[in-house]
Structure 1
Amino acid sequence: MAGTVPDPELPVVTLAELGVLRRVAEPEPGQVLVELTPTYTGCPAVEAMAADIERVLTGAGAARVEVRTVLTPPWSTDDISAEGRRKLAEHGVAPPRAGARSRGPVPLTLSATRRTSGDSEGSGGRPATRRTLPGEEPVRCPRCGSAETRLLSRFSSTACKALRRCDSCLEPFDHFKEV
């Protein structure tokens, strides 16, 4: 039953599909213990998740429900189920790229900052935005499937999503960031 609770920020997926529901146990008859790992430390949705779990389980007859927040192992976007990824894409949110977290550190080369006519602005006077890093899988548009997308903002409607735009269909969309 706890696995059927929808995520408060992304109600198209359940907590089980999102992978934040770590354990459900019944240590004694009528008592339910639920362990929950937030998508990131300090996630404001944890309290709402816990309240929703308590409501569903007490409504199903549990006399006592305890919801614990556990931070280890940390949650990863790799924990989102295939069904959760499908639902995110179906509802216009580009799911995180599978396995992106395990790629290791991103190589970085620092150099002096220079400005030339093409460096600081993209087309139409807009700031240039990166598409992908070398070797990185592109973020595909959940509407048309194009890999030609660009980052508009690192933050979107929630801290765990970024705002992107498709260069093919020109539609903006949320992308669930990989962690």
Structure 2
Amino acid sequence: MVTGADTALEAELRRLAGSVPDPELPVLTLEELGVLRGVRILGPGRVEVELTPTYTGCPAIEAMTADIERVLHEYGMAEVSVVKVLSPAWSTDDISADGRRKLTEFGIAPPRPSAVHGPVPLTLTVRCPHCGSSETELLSRFSSTACKALRRCVACREPFDHFKEL
């Protein structure tokens, strides 16, 4: 998160790191996904980037780390350290409004925002990102990644991924 205490260089490095596409959902940047937690200058040419994986065993964190290191090395940072931050845990509430819009435009039903902290409230409908119908059915609890479920719209018959709420 950019605060008033961030330097102009930290803000620029955060912008660059945040612009890296998610390896599993390349329609989203790491900033839009909400996994980029912080960027800190450690010294001349040295920067530390904090990432929170979408879940503890997320295999995409390695690709995210390599992509951030590449982008910041190209910018001129000699030493880039990417550290995993597990607390507070990532939540689908961390996905930005732009990120949710992009998921829908890409054909993935975005997770519903939670109104409260704590357990995710049970909601029985998921809107189709293609036609907007709430008449959908679950085909598989898991899709191309563990964080998505495979659903089908009863109205337009199109299958789609649903980014599960966490």
- Is 2:91 the partner of 1:76? yes
Aligned-partner Cα distance in 1 for 2:163–2:66: 24
Residue 137 (structure 1) shift? 5.8
What amino acid does structure 2 have at the position aligned with 1:99? S
Segments of 4+ in structure 1 off by > 2 A? 100-106
Note if 1:174 corresponds to 2:149. Answer: no
Equivalent in the alignment of 1:117: none
Q: Distance in 1 between matches of 2:159 and 2:78?
A: 46
TM-score normalised over the length of structure 2: 0.87
The equivalent residue for 2:43 is: 28
Check if 1:138 corresponds to 2:138: no
Q: State which structure, 1 or 2, has the greater radius of gyration over its C-alpha atoms.
A: 1
Deviations 1:91-124 (A, max 9, x none): 0010000116736376xxxxxxxxxxxxxxxxxx
Instruction: Name 1:13's counterpart in structure 2.
Output: 28
Evaluate the alpha carbon distance shift between residue 62 and residue 18 of structure 1 in structure 2; reply closer, same or farther with a 3 A threshold.
same
In the other structure, the counterpart of 1:163 is 150
- The residue type equivalent to 1:142 in the other structure is P
- Name structure 1 gaps, 5 residues minimum: 107-132
Distance 2:52 2:83 in 1: 9
Aligned equivalent of 1:2:
17
Instruction: Compute the displacement of 1:144 (Å).
Output: 0.4
Residue of structure 2 in register with 1:150 after alignment = 137
Q: Which of 79, 90, 96 pairs up with 2:105?
A: 90
TM-score (norm 1): 0.81
- Give yes or no for contact 2:37–2:52 (8 Å, CA) kept in 1: yes
1:123 maps to none
d(CA) in 2 for partners of 1:44 and 1:104? 25
Shift of 1:32: 1.1
Distance of aligned partners of 1:18 and 1:159 in 2 relative to their CA distance in 1, 3 Å threshold: same
Contact 2:27 2:103 (C-alpha < 8 Å) held by counterparts: yes
Count of matched residue pairs: 151
- Separation in structure 1 between the aligned mates of residue 127 and residue 45 of structure 2, nearest angstrom: 46
Once residues 164 and 100 of structure 1 are traced to their aligned partners in structure 2, the CA distance between those partners, rounded to angstroms, is 24
Letter paired with 2:80: V
**Alpha-carbon distance in 2 for matches of 1:5, 1:54:** 10
Segments of structure 2 that go 5 or more residues without pairing to the other structure are: 1-15
Between stretches 43-52 and 27-36, larger displacement belongs to 27-36
How far is the alpha carbon of 1:139 from its aligned partner? Answer: 1.0
Whether the aligned pair in 2 keeps the contact of 1:92 and 1:173 (CA below 8 Å) is yes
C-alpha RMSD over aligned residues: 1.5
Structure 1 residue 30: deviation in Å?
1.2
Deviation at 1:29, TM superposition (A): 2.1
- For 2:91 and 2:102, the matched residues in 1 are separated by 18
